[in-house]
Amino acid sequence: MADQTAPQKIAILGGGLAALTAAFELTSQPGWQDRFDITLYQMGWRLGGKCATKRGPNDRIEEHGIHGFLGSYYNALPLMAECYQALGRDKNAKLATFEQAFIPESFVLMWEYENSGLRRWPMTLPTNRLSPADASSLPSLRHWIAALIETAQALIDPRETPGLSEVHEMELRLGEAILERLKTEFRREGAEATFGTTHPVLEEVWDWLGHRLKALIDENDDLRRLYTLLEYMMALVRGVLADSIFEKGFDSIDGENFSDWLQRHGASVMTASSPLALNTVNLSYQYPAGDTARTASMGAGAYLHWSLRSYAYLGAFAWLFAAGTGETVIAPLYLVLRQRGVKFEFFHKVQNLALSADQQSIASVEMAVQATLKDPSRPYDPLVDIQGLPSWPSGPLYDQLVQGEALQAQDIDLESYWTPWQNVGARTLRVGEDFDQVVFAIAVGAVPYLCKDLLAARPAWRDMVEKIPTVQTQTMQIWLNRSTTDLGWDLPLKNPTDTVIGATYLNPLDGQVDFTHLLPWESWPAQQMPQSLWYFSGAMADYEPPPPLTDTGYPARAHARVKAQCIQYLQVCMGPLLPKATTNVVSPPGDPMGMDFSLLQDHDPAHAGQGVQRFDQQFWRANIDPSERYVTSPPGSTAARLKAWESGFSNLVLAGDWIYTGLNVGSAEGAAMGGRLAAHAVSGLPALSDIVGYPQEGAPPALT
């Protein structure tokens, strides 16, 4: 008979942000050791999921894509503040505090096609005094709208747009005054209960836009952009009232596409197709089958929720990581959890969740053991010290593994579903012996591979897989031997920590960011030290079904495909972004749009090559594995998302950005919310009211 006083055994499957968050929340509860015995199982040699980082030649930071937290990550930011407090690093240690690890970012670079040309639309959003460690000041939709209006006020302040005429300044002052009255309305406690489907002050703003400001925008780009900004923001607010979102919630409009919804609430085609409107869909890869040649598709509810929050931020519009994602986010969480007593089993690849005879619970979890430890009495130690910072290495630490020499000699990727490596063993976790509850925190793209019994037993699982599509993504990082300024960047940045970041550049790699601040964490010889570092990321079209897992050549083909796309992208797209990076400037005469590849900094000068050959020593990645595909939010998909406690199996809890989180958009914030919801499903904590953005009517019956 099982010992009723023994701690409940929790098996967490997966090592991404949702899994780590679930473990962090469970172990943040007083006396948790008396209640829970937690083991996290992870394939391969590192944690992080889509946030995983490794080190390449010269300790280059190499990532899955562009990462950072928006200032509206009301769950992820406080989570990391608590993590750094729990980490308790010495004050003289590198990245000792949350404040040192997270860098405020207020600049956004957008792009528009205007007057037959691609043009920059720079925007610096105002900062505020709200702490990123505390989301209590922005707990609800009403607060988000008030904050959005305040952001709009700051952006149309005439002092922020030099060169306006006196008439233009007076008009913007009038708009500011009306917005001030609208903000006051939304700041009233309980005001949402008094709102109808419209509001007279909101309509006054709309009338001012359409009949006064619009008349001034011809031949004035600054005013045209301010008009577009305000029309976009006010369309969001008008839609909230007209569709009774305060009463009905975001889910009530999720069957409609975002662009149709924007236009239904007054946004012009110009605004609905502007970079302002596309920021949300590009950041979260909302393109059918990952094909950026098609029109973006996103449920209006998820779009509205994300977009409103984006302008209601804590401190700054975004918070970038002082080092790589793995060093700034994942390693600190791992270290805290290890200190607290969570056990980690690396090199354990989930292969199947098997059901009980009555199909009401998980009976066992079947795993492949990818490698074994030379010293089984000691847990695998995955981190190395680089520049004084605990970091994830370039691959497995082979000297700890029995199979280390063979893995290294064959250059095996243990994170690939298509690996040729033969597993060295099998392990089956059994209910009542190895676990009491399972937290499934592996990405939804892996469900068809790992949960066949569950799919067969529950229509809701089949509906979820069918209606919540995932897409492949691609990324590249380039190290350059000239600074960003020397490459032609000529716009001043207002804040000392701001950098160039955007999501509306040319497809398919529409996201770009200048991450030069990461270079000091790398270990380059002085004579080879790069002067700038840029990341590019975007969706990747895939119409063909993935090949069988026995097709071990598939990753290499995808890798070659991304390489070719990246080279082509650099050859045709660099002129507008970095005009002095082109061949026609570096070594004229030449291509006025394409990159001069001599600017790429090599790590192995003896084999650097010439021209496009120099790209061989940069970094690119095809994110094709089921567990790293990005979850999307097309119209109608929210209803198919399962809640953390609604797996349909009594001892199975779900975690991830793919479950029903209220936000319902693939993101680090969604993953953090999913992890917190999983902890709530297991333990009742954190309270749902503390999970900002989760609708309170969605509580699990057993815990209300």
List pLDDT tens digits, range 349-364: 999 999 999 999 999 9
pLDDT in tens, 220-276: 999 999 999 999 999 999 999 999 999 999 999 999 999 999 999 999 999 999 999
Phi and psi, residue 223, nearest 5°: -70, -35
**The tokens of 691 are what?**
């999970």
Q: What angle do CA 142, 276, 180 make, to 5 degrees?
A: 40
Q: Report the alpha-carbon distance of residue 15 to residue 419 in Å, rounded.
A: 19
Is the model's pLDDT at 698 over the cut of 70?
A: no
Q: Confidence class of residue 703 from pLDDT cuts 50, 70 and 90?
A: very low
Tokens found for residue 116: 């037959």
pLDDT of 696 reads 80
Give the C-alpha separation, 395 to 399, whole Å.
11
| Cβ neighbours of residue 38 closer than 8 Å, sequence gap 6 or more | 10, 12, 23, 26, 27, 341, 342, 343
Maximum CA pair distance of the chain? 84
pLDDT of residue 699: 64
Count of residues making up the chain: 704
Judging by DSSP bridges, how do beta strands 318-321 and 102-105 pair with one another? antiparallel
Is this prediction's pTM over 0.95?
Answer: yes
Q: 90-121 pLDDT, tens per residue?
A: 999 999 999 999 999 999 999 999 888 899 99
Beta strands 343-345 and 36-41 are: parallel
CA gap 647, 653 in Å, rounded:
6
Report how far apart, in Å, the C-alpha atoms of 627 and of each of 49, 51, 77, 445, 611 are: 7, 12, 24, 6, 35
Task: Read off the pLDDT band of 701 (50, 70, 90).
Answer: low
C-beta of residue 566 within 8 angstroms of C-beta of residue 509: yes
Mean pLDDT confidence for 583-612: 97
What is the average pLDDT across 34-57? 98
